[in-house]
Amino acid sequence: MSDCVTLTDLVANKGQVVGLDAHASLADGLSTMRAHQVTALCVFGKPGHWLGAGNSNICVADKQLLGLVSILDIILYLSRHIVNEADPDALLKKTHISDVLGQNTESLTLWVAATSNLKLALEPLSKGVHRVLVPIFPAGAEKAQHPTPSSYKLCTQSDIIAYFQPLLKTDPFQSLASQPISKFASSGVVCALRSDPIMPTLSSLANSNLMAVPIVDRDGVLADTLSANDFRTLLEKTDHRSERVLKALVLGHVTIGEYLKEISSAKPRPLIGVVSGNTSFSEAVDRVCEHKIHRLWIVDSAGVPVGVLSLGDMIRTIREML
């Protein structure tokens, strides 16, 4: 079970992090994300010339790992530095990817996980960090006093939940599996309307280290969700539609409702991440794994959001059982 499992085991089948040189442009960054179908990149620089996020000094071979940049970071940077309607393309080409580091609270620190103890490694992921770097050591490195990683892989909160999903049917987690999620969820959900402009909402999410906001109607009933995953659309094949949406987005010309309508091609979006407070913990874990989502909105009998159970909440609860 988890006694002898480490994060290294959990990421064994994952590829190495996708990286980009610090002097590459934002346009290069978006192209790399599209090519590899990822929403975050590692930024590398020349050792001795940079301070990594959180004053870190992590090197892989002849490269220093400076930090992580996500598609959301790029959108926020563009919106904060836009001047006129000619700027999006120009900014993408002239801005270095390293300039975008630190656009949100999480990216101010470079999170590197412990590989010897699973409970210790889960601590940042249980406190709202969405992804951590896992150092990969070459064979025989354990004999060295200060082993040096040969590469890094990313471990996400979703990876952790997927690992523990089948274990909830075994000891010591069986007692947890049947408990209602109301015991572990957060209350006081901040909601948004479809008519709200999207960029202030995204800035608020980044400042609060959140990845999603529930969208409600005028009666406060849950109608949709705006999440970081909704910006994968901008990483589809380069076409005029993606460019047009990105430009309108960063110029502040788009409401939440307009953006969600655009990316769904005006088709209704099913509410898949909605549960009641009585939903069991194991049911909640099954739901997020099945639909590949990152939180569940808890609603009352009228459909009004009253709480949220995030992957971080789940990991924190599981970690307490280890």
Pairing mode of beta strands 295-299, 274-275: parallel
Q: Which residues pair with 15 in a beta bridge?
A: none
The 10 Å Cβ neighbour count of residue 69 is 26
- For residue 127, the one-letter residue type is K
Q: Exposure pattern of 13-49 as b/e (b: 16+ CB <10 Å)?
A: eeeebebbebebbbbbbbbbbeeeebbbbbbbbeeee
Please report the pLDDT score of residue 85 as a whole number.
Answer: 56
Please report the pLDDT score of residue 30 as a whole number.
Answer: 92
The 10 Å Cβ neighbour count of residue 67 is 28
DSSP conformation class of 16: P
Q: 57 or 174: whose pLDDT is higher?
A: 174
Asked whether the predicted pLDDT for residue 18 surpasses 60, the reply is yes
- Residue owning tokens 């006093």: 145
Pairing mode of beta strands 212-216, 192-193: parallel
Q: Tell me the pLDDT band of 81, cut-offs 50, 70 and 90.
A: confident
Pairing mode of beta strands 63-70, 58-60: antiparallel
Q: How many CA atoms lie within 13 A of 142 on its CB side?
A: 3
Q: Where is mean pLDDT largest: 163-172, 226-235, 259-268?
A: 163-172
Nearest C-alpha neighbor of 274 from the set 260, 284, 264, 286: 284
CATH architecture for residues 7-158: Roll (3.10)
Lowest mean pLDDT among 105-114, 138-147, 168-177: 138-147
- Residue owning tokens 């929403």: 39
Cα(302)–Cα(297) distance, integer angstroms: 13
Q: Provide the strand spans (E) within the chain.
A: 19-21, 40-45, 58-60, 63-70, 131-136, 151-156, 186-187, 192-193, 212-216, 222-227, 274-275, 295-299, 305-310
Asked whether the predicted pLDDT for residue 266 surpasses 90, the reply is no
Cα(149)–Cα(134) distance, integer angstroms: 9
